[in-house]
Amino acid sequence: MKKNILFILLLGIVSACSSPQAEKVDYTVLTDEERLEIAKEIAQNTIIVDGHMDLPFRMYNMGHHMRGEVFDFMSRSDQGNIDYVRAKEGGVDAPFMAIYIPASYQETGGAKGLADTLIMMVERMINTWPDKLAFARSPEEIESNFKKGLLSLPMGIENAAAIEDDLSNVAYFYNKGIRYMTLTHGKDNLVGDSSYDDAETHGGLSEFGKDVVKEMNRLGMIVDVSHVTDKTFFDVAEVSKAPVVATHSSVRAFTPGFERNVSDEIIQKIAEKNGMVMITFGGSFLDQAYSDANSAIREHVQEWLKENNLSYRDEKAQEYIRAYSADKKPTVHVSKVVDHIDHVVKLVGIDHVGLGSDFDGVGDTLPEGLKDASMYPNIIAELLKRGYSKEDVEKICYKNFFRVWKDVEAVAGK
């Protein structure tokens, strides 16, 4: 009987694709198992774009490039949050590879060199497995790759420190395939102020930063407002002629005082500019109680490391941290991600929200049911459970992002 129900529902899904009137399926009346089956089907047949994954920096830290080796992306791994097998299982088709520049490079120099290295590592993966992976520099390229069954690896720079103090580097990176740039990271930089830094060096966007935003508009590079202060954001909103995106930020209403998440006022301004917020998955972004517990653990661990003269990386420290923190954090569930999506939808509508996991960037803080790239169907199932339609799901998975990206390209075309 169950198979029959599924068959009828899947027929409903297929026919809904061809005729807008045909979608009469009420997913809310199904069992969780039935919904998950349909969610898996949708995930496989719908393009899923993820705004931000830190795989390149994880690869860099493993040092393969130093030995001239290519990182083994093809085998299932129990390390990190993504590999080819888990990506395919979860139906993710275009995870943006973050070319991440730690703020320390702003002091030491070498930011552009690191960006070049990380880009080269992504290129090397794609060139090693051209039958599985592909470059993606536009929505059309992602669609074409999807039809061929290829996993697209579009790229975005995280931390405009990568351009150093030279405006012409924006075009340099655009020509290397970079399609968005996160303006700051953990500290204020030459472009603007970071939400993690209290210095307020520029009181928002610097003069150089304004030129950078204009140059990004001119080229068709998306301006990413994750990690900036509120003042910086509103400066960007004023300067940018194109829509802006928060590629990996969640909703501040759930984490009051956490400037790294976006406020309702910011969400409204992003929507007004026809942009979007891509909800990120880390527990501390999603849930205040989790964030508080995490901070308390971190403080205790730092003290303990000092007393025992150890560093985070020491095996003894790792064991202690695991044991100490095992039962001290509340459980955060995948449904919490959908709470954040709901909030944006109720505030500004379905057209301004997407997914930006921050996989490989948030350690072991991911929610139950969302530990790696194989688990996107759990988000889709939760959306269906709450009455979102298949069309809504497609908007969240890729259509909103494609609209924004095309808008950014259109502004550049002018």
For the chain, the domains span 47-283+332-413, 288-330
pLDDT tier at 64, thresholds 50, 70, 90: confident
The structural architecture, per CATH, of the domain 47-283+332-413 is: Alpha-Beta Barrel (3.20)
Pair 281, 335: CB distance under 8 Å:
no
- The answer to whether 20 and 390 are in contact (CB under 8 A) is no
Residues 108 and 298: their CA atoms lie apart, in Å, by 26
d(CA 328, CA 290) in angstroms, rounded, equals 9
**Residue appearing with tokens 């809504």:** 392
SS3 category, 23:
coil
410 contacts 59 by C-beta, under 8 angstroms: no
Grade residue 18 by pLDDT with cuts at 50, 70 and 90.
Answer: very low
Could you tell me how many residues make up the chain? Answer: 414
Whether residue 147 has pLDDT greater than 50: yes
> How does residue 10 score in pLDDT terms, banded at 50, 70 and 90?
low
How much is the mean pLDDT over the chain? 94
The percentage of residues in the chain with a pLDDT greater than 70, rounded to a whole number, is: 94
Please give the pLDDT value at position 65: 84
Q: What is the pLDDT of residue 105?
A: 98
Give the tens place of pLDDT for each residue, 108-145: 999 999 999 999 999 999 999 999 999 999 999 999 99
Crossing angle of helices 315-325 and 288-307, in 10° steps, is 140
What is the pLDDT averaged over residues 37-48? 98
Q: Which of 57-61, 263-267, 309-313, 354-358 has the lowest mean pLDDT?
A: 309-313
The one-letter code for the residue type at 392 is: D
- Is 23 a residue whose pLDDT tops 80? no
Q: How far apart are CA 328 and CA 288, in angstroms?
A: 14
For 250-274, the pLDDT digits (tens) are 999 999 999 999 999 999 999 999 9
Quote the CA–CA distance of 398 and 414 in Å, as a whole number.
25
pLDDT of residue 16: 47
Burial of residue 196 (CB within 10 Å: 0-12, 13-18, 19+) is middle
Q: Say what the pLDDT of residue 12 is.
A: 52
Q: Work out the average pLDDT over 343-349.
A: 98
Task: Return the minimum-mean-pLDDT range out of 1-10, 70-79, 192-201, 374-383.
Answer: 1-10
Tokens 């991911």: give the residue: 366
Show the tokens assigned to 241: 């002629």
Q: What's the mean pLDDT in 24-53?
A: 96
